[in-house]
A and B are shown apart, each in its own frame.
Chain A
Amino acid sequence: MERVMMKGNEALAEGAIRAGCRFFFGYPITPQNEIPEYMARRLPEVGGVFLQAESEVSAINMVYGAGGAGARVLTSSSGPGISLKLEGISYIAGAQVPCVIVNVARGGPGLGGLTPSQADYFQATKGGGHGDYRLLVYAPGNAQEMVDLMGLAFDKAEEYRNPVMILTDAIMGQMMEPVVLPPLRTVTAEQPWATTGKQGRKKPNLINSLGIVGEELERINIELQAKYDRMAAAEARYEADGTAEADLIVVAYGTSSRVARSAIARLRQEGKKVGLFRPVTLWPFPQAVLASLAADGKRFLVVEMSAGQLVEDVILAVNDRAKVSFFGKLNGTVPTVREVYDRIRSLLPEGGEG
């Protein structure tokens, strides 16, 4: 079949296989269990290794090892499990090891619940773990993007030698949509920096995040920051739908962007000029585009399934040049199309026709 119906979680898993991922280490947690389930069946078919670790901490350190040997490696979890993995993620970022980490977010804090949430935005984009590190963070907007961004995630992880996170949520992971799968890619695990034996070199390759000697740690951090600057300059991605002519622009990603899009479609039928700005990378945040829209006199509404996290990046980008309103639903609730529609209407100028 040219097109297949896939759950978001399955699309992520098959997307990884097609991108040449041959290693998966993880530990079960709802709502991402379809990913390890899929990988457990699929990886042996392509000569890969699936291993269910005894904990998230073990899993992320196995990822560290496989990534350090230059392999394309994936792990996935949901909020509580990602929290456990953060120590390892900081080590992986510090040691500049490529890997891809999926968070299919559920409601928190703590053990929380199984309903969808976008309250892990800070954790994904602002560190979460210790130290000055950054993850490249992708937020897919549909099942096709789950496949496509997964392929891109592996390429970018390798290009920058940096962990890449895909942040999605329970609804996006569980819903089903038609997707077109790319061909299976063959990739080589041979990286000049990888720990695969000296192979005639005088000095061994080392994978290490320790910088205890002299000014070593400062040198490491300067190198990291220079890399993050390059990523910030080159990797921001977004979708802008009708933003140029809009009076009001809704900023949202993932599930809330889908709800916003439905609400916006209704408003446009009524002649209202409403746009959608959807960051595809949450870090680097597509700041410059938002800043220039703000300078054009647009007004913004941020819709999130959280108490307000993405909205902070929007306010930073807009930097007092425009008014930013916020509509958030707390953990476990998805805003309805009607709620978003009503909220947008209340912000539009009275009788404001097109």
Chain B
Amino acid sequence: MEAKRITVLTGPFGSGKTEVAVNYALSLKPASTRVGLVDLDIVNPYFRSRELTAQLAKEGIELVASQPGLEMADLPALSPRIFSFLQNPDFQVVFDVGGDPVGARILGRFQSYFAINPYQLWLVINPYRPGCDDPAHLVRLAREVEAVSRLRISGIVDNSNLGELTDRRIRAEGAVLVKKAAELLAVPVVFRTCTNPAFLTEDERGGEEKVLFLNLYMLPPWAKG
């Protein structure tokens, strides 16, 4: 998987950015000396990667969120440690940004770093979210994200899923809509997510399309041990 030093995951509210960000950061680890994951969601404190700080540390992923102890404080406050990730060229940095243009606005704060570092801004899309089955709506949202973040979207992550009801058909039908949005935006689908090898398409099996297998971390309490 291509990996510029900075990867920014943005997208509509509730499209699965955090799950993708955690799994993507883990996928970078074998090839990278240091991987930093930035939980930049200032919209909502629930189901956040900050819940996984200890678990990720064991896997060698350094996570920066809010001040320890303030994880549930609902404060739009950023840690200064984000800058140490951005300034240190040894780091592969993954930004997990809050949903919608309102969540992406915060990226403008790091404009000077994006100007001098290679970055990729990916839009995570789940067409099974309300309104997200309309490619025209996704294009409008993408343009708004670009306007507030002052960055250019360079790819789409296809996160088509219906939770526990996901199957081959759900992924296949979702892919059609995501591809349509990618075409309208003139950017590639950089990878598709998958939770079960049985759901893969022929192209994915043959290595023609890239897949990121997800281990689900953002589970509700009743789905945990």
Contact = CB atoms under 8 A, between A and B. Distances in A.
A162 interface: no
B72 A115 contact: yes
Contact of B221 (A3, A7, A113, A255): A255
Contact of A1 (B14, B73, B133): B133
Interface string A172-193: 0011111000000000000000
A258 B222 contact: yes
Contacts of A176: 14, 163
A5 B224 contact: no
Interface string B41-52: 000111100000
A336 B14 contact: no
Nearest to B45: A114
Q: Is the interface of B mostly helix, strand, loop or mixed?
A: loop
Given A114-B74, A178-B162, A262 B222 contact: yes
A258 B220 contact: yes
A289 interface: no
B130 interface: yes
Nearest to B223: A262
Q: Is the interface of A mostly helix, strand, loop or mixed?
A: mixed
Contacts of B47: 174-175
Contacts, number: 69
Interface in B14-58: 14, 44-47
B94 to A, nearest CB: 22
Nearest to B163: A178
B15 to A, nearest CB: 9
Interface string B185-225: 00000000000000000000000000000000000111111
A173 to B, nearest CB: 8
Contacts of A295: none
A30 B45 contact: yes
Contact of B220 (A1, A5, A175): A175
B165 interface: yes
B180 interface: no
B166 to A, nearest CB: 9
A4 B128 contact: yes
A259 B221 contact: yes
Nearest to B177: A1
B160 to A, nearest CB: 10
B135 interface: no
A60 to B, nearest CB: 23
A170 B133 contact: no
13 contacts: A5-B126, A5-B161, A5-B162, A6-B129, A113-B72, A174-B44, A178-B128, A259-B222, A261-B222, A334-B221, A337-B222, A337-B225, A338-B225
Please name the 7 residue pairs, one residue from A and one from B, whose CB atoms are nearest each other, closest first.
A258-B222, A174-B46, A334-B221, A178-B162, A259-B222, A175-B220, A262-B222
Interface of B: 14, 44-47, 72-74, 126-130, 133, 161-165, 220-225
Given A30-B45, A178-B128, 14 more contacts: A3-B128, A170-B46, A178-B162, A178-B163, A255-B221, A258-B220, A258-B221, A259-B221, A262-B223, A334-B221, A335-B221, A336-B225, A337-B221, A338-B225
